[in-house]
Chains A and B, each alone.
Chain A
Amino acid sequence: MSADIDAGLVRPPLRRFSPARVFYRLFGTPLNAAISLGVLLALAFVVPPLLRWALWDATFSGTAQDCAARSGACWAFIGNKLRFILFAFYPPELQWRPALVVGLILGLIGFSLWPRLWSARLLVVWPLVLGLCWLLLSGIVVSPRVSSNQWGGLPVTLFVWSTCFAASFPLALGFALLRRSRLGLLRIFAVAFIEGMRATPMVAILYVAMLIVPMALPGGAFLDKTVRAMIMITLFWSSYLAEVLRAGLQTIPRGQEEAASALGLGYWRTMQMIVLPQALRVVIPGIVNLAIGFLLATSLLAVIGIFDILNAARAAAIDPQWLGFYDEAYLLVGVIFLLLCTAGSRYSRWLERRLAVASH
């Protein structure tokens, strides 16, 4: 029974909440009492000033002058600048388009999180929805066109993240399979690519997108900064994803491949029907964790001057009218990331348990 509880198969019996037990666990032994008092003391130092800043002394509406008159947080700044932080320099009258993109991408992800709906259909839905997002943002179908230099805020963060992640998947699968294959020449190429990319910081990759890619294009050709960054980020992320996929491939015993080949299945059919379905399943929680890391990493776009949500928040706080409300701007962005990523990691843990139970 206890082993079952450890393995997460059986819930431990619910114990009724009892104040006496809580008190014992907090103050039962001298050490515990000392720890609890220490933590409470620290909280007493930190929490009241924080509350005073965030609520009591805060300004909820008005102008920058009203904020300057009070010592607390300036939530009026968020109220005034929310639209800019979310959509940056996208033309205001067209902002329904990026808003729709945010909805589409969040919907796409919500749809993909449901294990029941996992099927080959996703391979069609993802490119379709992301393509639609591209058309909406750039205005190729619904005029007027909006240059990608004007894109900004949350839609850019979400779009770059989901598109690069989706595009890196087939590449990563190819590299992972090559790295495990018997094709010596191609294997060494895959190893060099993966290890080289993983040794390089993402900032350097973004600088390559900024400085080298325009030089390497044939004379006269030109790509927007955002597109160049997305190409390099896709290559960069595919090396990380390839390693996660390889870890999954390694959990499948070679004997299965040999058995499949004894049954007369070729390499591709073996992979498609036997190895990949099992291997992918093992690494789904790992892929989700990787995706969370990638979402956090999209904030690096700010380094090359793309207005992702973090950079938009910073730009909002350098507006001469509302100068210097960095704390409020960063807090808003922090909360958005915190919500998305915490939900993601909760989901990953839930999925891990579910997959573990299902495979028993």
Chain B
Amino acid sequence: MSRETAVPGLEKPGILARARQWVGPQPLAQGLACAGFLLLLVWLGQNTAQTMARIGVTPGFDFLSRAANFAIGEGVIPFSPGDPYFRAILVGLLNTLKVAVLGCVFATLLGVLFGVAGLSGNPLLRGIVRLYIEVVRNTPLLLQLFFWIAVAKAFPAPRQAIGIFDVILLSNRGVFVPSADPAALPLSAWLLGLVLVGAWVALMLVVRARRWPLSVSIFATLALLGALALLPLLGGAGAFSMPELKGFNIRGGAALTPEFAALLVGLSVKFSAAIAEIVRAGIQSVNRGQWEAARALGLGPGRIMRLVVLPQALRVITPLTTSSYLDLIKDSSLAVAIGYPDLVSVINTTANTTGQSFEALAILVGIYVVLNLFASLLMNIYNARVALRGGVAR
């Protein structure tokens, strides 16, 4: 294989030689196979074009700027019938991203919690966690979503809404949660937030330069997020909006539609079980002897976890969690089955109303491929850092 490079010659192998090496043996047969496959694609494409001509659809992406005459239940940005199709698709994409990002956050929080609880020495707690994980993992996500949407629709009318500590109100019109209005925040809160973020960035640079342990950055990041979450308190009552019952309806707060709430809960629960298993496997992958050795060195349980176990466990946990996140993004497409207007649902409506199903699905697949590449790129960067921090080359 490396005959050319092994012998020291006057010239390096040229670009042609390298290309031939890349193609490998039997280029002719390979070329024929590829040509055959391309012919198949062309044939299928021609059939599609003929069908489109027969049903009177012009191929192309012109339909994107035409008016879409349907309504979308909810969206991060406003949409009204008559807006162009590309805006409808953008609304769907943002809806997908919204539920996927929040789902990843909640699934991680729940998953770490259950993963650690599953390792508890208490048999009762361990048993309950085991049962939860088995039931959640071994039933289909779609079934769970049907269950959650049935639960969300079965909540009482707003007048009898179920309150959870009077902070969250559950009703059949949706789930009402407290919200913070960024516009009502005082300047001081914004400034303090900026200072905090700046301090965090500075600390991260020091961590990098001094090669401080990973745990410092984790704790600093958690502290930053906690502080940012508390910032609206500075604005007093004005910046916060609590949901409360007024007359026949609920005012204030932010309303999550039943569909969104069901999808978010379903995805978080389903993937919390997967992440819990990953966390458990990661922690268990660290040899028992290391716990004992660290204890012999006089480290307490907290420091053993932070300094010895976690850095090694993260190397197992990170790549597996990445693929869980990617699965979560893809599985958010089940939204279409419970009526949440995600990307797939909007694309489906677009395909049905325009007849341009080929183009619409091509857009859909393209977007998901890009999303996946982007997410795995981000996690690969993070993974490389985790892997290198321990000083062990992969």
Hey, which bits of chain A sit against chain B, CB under 8 A? 6, 22, 25-26, 32, 35-36, 39-40, 43, 181-187, 189, 195-196, 198-204, 207-208, 211-212, 214-219, 292, 296-297, 299-300, 302-303, 310, 314, 326-327, 330, 333-334, 337-338, 341-342, 345
Contacts and interface: CB of A to CB of B under 8 A. Distances in A.
Nearest to B38: A189
B331 A201 contact: yes
B337 A302 contact: yes
- What 7 pairs across the A-B complex have the smallest Cβ distances? A341-B138, A182-B24, A211-B357, A299-B140, A199-B372, A201-B330, A201-B333
Which of A36, A43, A182 counts the most chain B CB atoms within 10 A? A182
B24 A342 contact: no
Interface in B25-71: 25-27, 30-31, 33-34, 37, 44-45, 47-48, 50-52, 54
B314 interface: no
Given A296-B138, A330-B143, 5 more contacts: A35-B120, A199-B373, A203-B344, A310-B142, A341-B137
Contact of A211 (B134, B147, B351): B351
B23 interface: yes
B1 interface: yes
Contact of A35 (B54, B125, B137, B333): B125
A174 to B, nearest CB: 11
A35 B122 contact: yes
B215 to A, nearest CB: 22
A35 B47 CA distance: 65
Contact of B26 (A183, A189, A196, A326): A183
A203 B373 contact: no
Interface residue range, chain B:
35 or more
Interface string B359-394: 001001100110111000000000000000000000
B146 interface: yes
B336 A200 contact: no
A35 B1 CA distance: 62
A326 B357 contact: no
Interface string B313-337: 0000000000000000011011011
Contacts of B137: 341, 345
B302 to A, nearest CB: 14
B146 A330 contact: yes
A196 B123 CA distance: 44
A218 B33 contact: no
A345 B277 CA distance: 13
B358 interface: yes
A32 B122 contact: yes
B107 to A, nearest CB: 17
A183 B27 CA distance: 8
16 contacts: A36-B124, A39-B125, A187-B24, A199-B369, A200-B330, A201-B368, A207-B361, A212-B358, A215-B48, A215-B358, A216-B44, A216-B47, A219-B54, A296-B139, A310-B140, A330-B147
B333 A219 contact: no
B217 interface: no
Contacts of A302: 142, 337
A185 B122 contact: no
Contact of B334 (A189, A300, A327, A341): A300
B141 interface: yes
Contacts of B30: 183-186
A26 B123 CA distance: 7
A284 B243 CA distance: 53
